[in-house]
């Protein structure tokens, strides 16, 4: 008897073990075969459920039965999909579940197509039924010339047939295109088809691809790749290191530590070309905010229609089509955000993670994986190489290069075009304030804007937050309007005169007077992108050499929320002669405009004030990255960093392009306080609407963790006291956390996994484990 190990598609720790079912000898009710990776319909309790097959074996070969009599097992009803993943995908899902202490169903879901999985839904009457996938393939009907087209002469009154035949002489057309031009064409097309004048074909269409991606699944021809520029000595050395690591096929990691503009992308492109020439495929991960048309265009320019793209700004249907394109085997290169790792790309030889220091590579919901660590695990299994690229590699990555023989670091200390890095000047805003200035733009930045814009050049201004002003404060009683559901102040937005919570979306009109004391003296503190845009417009309009015609392109979470908005804003900035690009972190990396000669950082120390052990590292990386947007071509660049913390090590180090200065200040603090890379951590989060219940559960869990750590670990293992999170209330729920630590070479997950596997769910309190957290907020 053949048996199947099935993960139920029910994301809860209470059902976090595979269930065993018998595979019917006739294959079950449906026609699809039951294979590893497919979704199946199975009996579960008094109803049916959808699950995913992760293993198949004969009953006498099963090592997971644990004494169960195979004759008493329930049988799978039928398969309801083709396989989404193979045995290697199933192994990765299990590893993710154990490493990140996450429900198996959530881990398996990573490998399924967006919106393309059947699910069980409950009707109002309480009955369960199978609901088909929300999205699927789209087939178009194409009209193509038939053998009789050349000699076809329509009757005099067959006007529509004549029009269709004439249109087809210029090339193939979709039925929908003919209908848009000539109205209802079905009868005319059928008549022409009977005469052999045309043929009607059904072809797969890819949503979101110009022309529907016709030919993508059948293979295309006639593509000419973009020219390869000559490599610098540093680029050639980096490429050689990557090729050598790939050829050794041992899962090694190459860190390309290159300054902004050093040509890291060209190194990636030629390394991918080497992998493709060796018959392998490649996966390229890019931070979501850096997945610009510029980025995608460079890969498609080199590899054409063999490139698949996956990111969250695509519709669900578009992502399904790209996922299916990858599964077809026609895609050789996948470019996308962190989830692109789990697409069904076969025979991977190279995984590239660009801007590897970015926090967006850490998933913030179960399974809370880090793409870098998953990529390294996958590469070791597949005999592939991993490339991590950044101008500001994370401290953990630099530490691994120093300690692990399988990690290699290559430096690109100079820009590919030979241009120097821009001069960075730190402007002490405290001195500006004491000198009588109340403007958010220092005198130096105002003068620099006037000089560059009047000369027809462009500027980039970074503000690391959004909103019109950070908060309102009553100058009489000190009242600050707060969100009723989150422990945070409301952000003022000028457009609409609103107070908005950027965590839960709560919004109310801004009061004209203080709700507490009735005072009219409500002051706006802080500066968001709307406020900066308004003040910048006033500043530029007052400059005789600039005036009101210079556009200000604002990019933040508000202006880029619509589909395609990100691309349209960048195109507007690129097309202008002189312009200012004002934005949040999304403009700090990945942008390459030759005529940007000035970069200004409005307030560089925003993140330094966060209660986050990575605050200094994030500040250093952000300033260093945004400085690299200036002077990337023939024109020289300059950078002005405004700060109230001019003496802070991250600011001084970034201004001097001196990472060693930053590390000399930061690493001793990390070692003394017990933070990565010197320890590994798990942040156990608890939340619920009943504050006493959350507190009691946190204290109880602290005691359980202390016992687990004491039984498993030794020196260097510890559990910190349970405390409220920095954001203690969010969306109406109270939040506490407990942090466990162990030595950097210990297996923290192995110590904690048994505790959370046997822990019973609490109706009042939710619990989640974040292994290797990116922050403790």
Q: Which residues lie closer than 8 Å to 33 by C-beta, 6 or more apart? A: 27, 79
- Known binding residue 517? Answer is yes
Per-residue pLDDT at 590? 61
Cis bond upstream, residue 683 (ω within 30): no
Cis bond upstream, residue 367 (ω within 30): yes
Helix (H, G, I), strand (E, B) or coil at 300: helix
Q: Which two tokens stand for residue 616?
A: 């200094």
Q: What is the DSSP letter of 148?
A: T
Q: Which two tokens stand for residue 512?
A: 């004209």
- Known binding residue 486? Answer is yes
Half-sphere exposure of 736 (CA within 13 A, CB side): 24
- Known binding residue 514? Answer is yes
Query: What ranges make up the beta strands (E) of 337-457?
Result: 348-354, 385-390, 407-412, 423-428
- Known binding residue 38? Answer is no
Q: How far apart are CA 633 and CA 641, in angstroms?
A: 21
Q: Which two tokens stand for residue 441?
A: 């733009």
Per-residue pLDDT at 526? 64
- Known binding residue 483? Answer is yes
Per-residue pLDDT at 216? 47
Tell me how far the alpha carbon of residue 265 is from its chain's centroid.
18
User: Within a 10 A sphere around the Cβ of 700, how many other Cβ atoms?
Assistant: 14
Query: What ranges make up the beta strands (E) of 19-134?
Result: 19-22, 39-44, 47-58, 78-79, 119-122, 128-131
Q: How far apart are CA 256 and CA 150, in angstroms?
A: 59
Per-residue pLDDT at 218? 46
Per-residue pLDDT at 308? 93
Per-residue pLDDT at 220? 46
- Known binding residue 62? Answer is no
Closest CA to 651 of 607, 704, 694: 607
Per-residue pLDDT at 15? 64
Kind of pairing, strands 766-771 and 507-509? unpaired
Each residue of 142-193: pLDDT tens digit?
889 999 998 898 887 888 898 899 888 888 887 877 887 888 888 888 889 9
Q: How far apart are CA 727 and CA 678, in angstroms?
A: 26
Per-residue pLDDT at 13? 59
User: Within a 10 A sphere around the Cβ of 169, how many other Cβ atoms?
Assistant: 10
pLDDT along the chain (777 residues), means of 10: 90 74 78 90 90 90 74 90 94 96 93 89 83 77 89 86 87 81 85 91 73 48 78 96 98 96 94 97 88 80 92 84 92 95 97 94 94 98 97 96 97 88 88 81 94 92 65 78 80 79 82 90 75 90 87 86 79 89 78 83 78 88 85 82 90 93 96 94 96 96 94 87 87 93 94 91 93 90
Q: Provide the whole-model pTM.
A: 0.84
Each residue of 330-380: pLDDT tens digit?
999 999 999 999 999 999 999 999 999 999 999 999 999 999 999 999 999
Helix (H, G, I), strand (E, B) or coil at 522: strand
Per-residue pLDDT at 235? 97
């Amino acid at each position: 008897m053949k048996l199947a190990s099935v993960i139920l598609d029910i994301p809860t720790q209470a059902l976090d073990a595979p269930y065993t079912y018998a595979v019917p000898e006739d294959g079950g009710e449906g026609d699809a075969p039951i294979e590893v990776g497919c979704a199946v319909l199975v009996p579960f309790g008094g109803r049916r459920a959808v699950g995913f097959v992760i293993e198949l074996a004969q009953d006498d070969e099963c090592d997971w039965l644990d004494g169960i009599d195979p004759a008493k097992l329930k049988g799978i009803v039928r398969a309801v999909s083709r396989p989404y993943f193979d045995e290697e995908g199933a192994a990765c899902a299990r590893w993710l579940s154990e490493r990140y202490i996450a429900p198996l169903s959530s881990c398996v879901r990573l490998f399924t197509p967006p919106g393309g999985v059947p699910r069980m839904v409950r009707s109002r009457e309480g009955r369960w039924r199978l609901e088909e996938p929300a999205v699927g393939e789209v087939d178009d009907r194409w009209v193509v010339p038939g053998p009789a087209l050349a000699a076809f002469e329509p009757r005099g009154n067959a006007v529509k047939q004549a029009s269709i035949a004439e249109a087809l002489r210029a090339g193939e057309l979709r039925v929908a295109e003919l209908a848009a031009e000539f109205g209802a064409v079905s009868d005319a097309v059928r008549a022409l088809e009977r005469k052999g004048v045309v043929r009607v074909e059904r072809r797969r269409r890819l949503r979101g691809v110009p022309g529907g991606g016709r030919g993508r699944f059948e293979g295309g021809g006639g593509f000419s790749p973009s020219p390869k520029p000559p490599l610098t000595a540093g680029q050639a050395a980096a490429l050689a290191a990557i090729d050598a690591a790939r050829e050794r096929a041992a899962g090694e990691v190459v860190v390309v530590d290159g300054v902004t503009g050093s040509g890291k992308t060209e190194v990636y492109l030629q390394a991918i070309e080497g992998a493709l020439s060796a018959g392998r495929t490649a996966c390229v991960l890019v931070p979501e905010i850096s997945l610009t048309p510029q980025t995608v265009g460079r890969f498609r320019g080199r590899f054409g229609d063999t490139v698949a793209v996956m990111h969250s700004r695509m519709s669900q249907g578009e992502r399904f089509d790209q996922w299916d394109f990858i599964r077809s085997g026609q895609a050789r290169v996948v470019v996308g955000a962190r989830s692109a790792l789990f697409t069904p790309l076969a025979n991977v030889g190279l995984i590239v993670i660009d801007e590897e220091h970015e926090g967006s590579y850490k998933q913030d919901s179960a399974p809370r994986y880090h793409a870098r660590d998953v990529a390294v695990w996958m590469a070791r299994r597949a005999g592939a190489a991993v490339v991590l690229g950044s101008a500001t590699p994370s401290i953990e990555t630099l530490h691994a290069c120093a300690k692990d023989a399988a990690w290699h670091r290559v430096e690109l200390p100079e820009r590919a075009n030979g241009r120097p890095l821009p001069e960075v000047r730190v402007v002490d805003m405290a001195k500006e304030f004491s000198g009588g200035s109340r403007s958010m733009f220092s005198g130096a930045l105002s003068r620099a804007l006037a000089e560059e814009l009047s000369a027809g050049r462009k500027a980039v201004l970074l503000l690391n937050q959004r909103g019109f002003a950070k908060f309102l404060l009553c100058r009489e009683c000190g009242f600050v309007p707060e969100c009723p559901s989150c422990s945070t102040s409301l952000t003022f937005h000028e457009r609409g005169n609103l107070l908005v919570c950027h965590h839960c979306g709560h919004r109310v009109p801004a009061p004209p007077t203080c709700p507490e004391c009735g005072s009219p003296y409500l002051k706006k503190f802080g500066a968001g992108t709307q406020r900066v845009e308004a003040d910048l417009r006033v500043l530029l309009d007052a400059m005789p050499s600039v005036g009101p015609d210079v556009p200000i392109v604002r990019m933040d979470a508000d202006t880029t929320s619509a589909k395609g908005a990100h691309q349209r804003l960048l195109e507007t900035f690129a097309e202008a002669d002189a312009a200012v690009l004002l934005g949040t972190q999304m403009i700090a990396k990945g942008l390459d405009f030759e005529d940007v000669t000035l970069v200004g950082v409005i307030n560089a120390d925003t993140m330094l004030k966060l209660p986050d052990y990575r605050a200094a590292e994030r500040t250093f990386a952000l300033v260093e990255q945004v400085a690299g947007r200036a002077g990337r071509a023939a024109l020289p660049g300059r950078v002005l960093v405004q700060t109230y913390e001019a003496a802070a090590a991250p600011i001084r180090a970034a201004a001097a392009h001196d990472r060693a200065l930053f590390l000399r200040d930061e690493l001793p603090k990390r070692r003394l306080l017990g933070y990565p890379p010197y320890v590994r951590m798990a942040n156990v989060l608890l939340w619920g609407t009943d504050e006493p219940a959350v507190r009691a559960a946190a204290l109880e869990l602290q005691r359980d963790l202390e016992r687990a750590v004491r039984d498993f670990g030794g020196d260097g293992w510890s559990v910190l006291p349970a405390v409220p999170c920095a954001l203690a209330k969010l969306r109406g729920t109270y939040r506490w956390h407990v942090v466990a630590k162990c030595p950097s070479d210990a297996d923290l997950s192995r110590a904690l996994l048994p505790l959370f596997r046997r822990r019973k769910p609490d109706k009042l309190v939710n619990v989640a484990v974040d292994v290797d957290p990116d922050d403790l907020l």
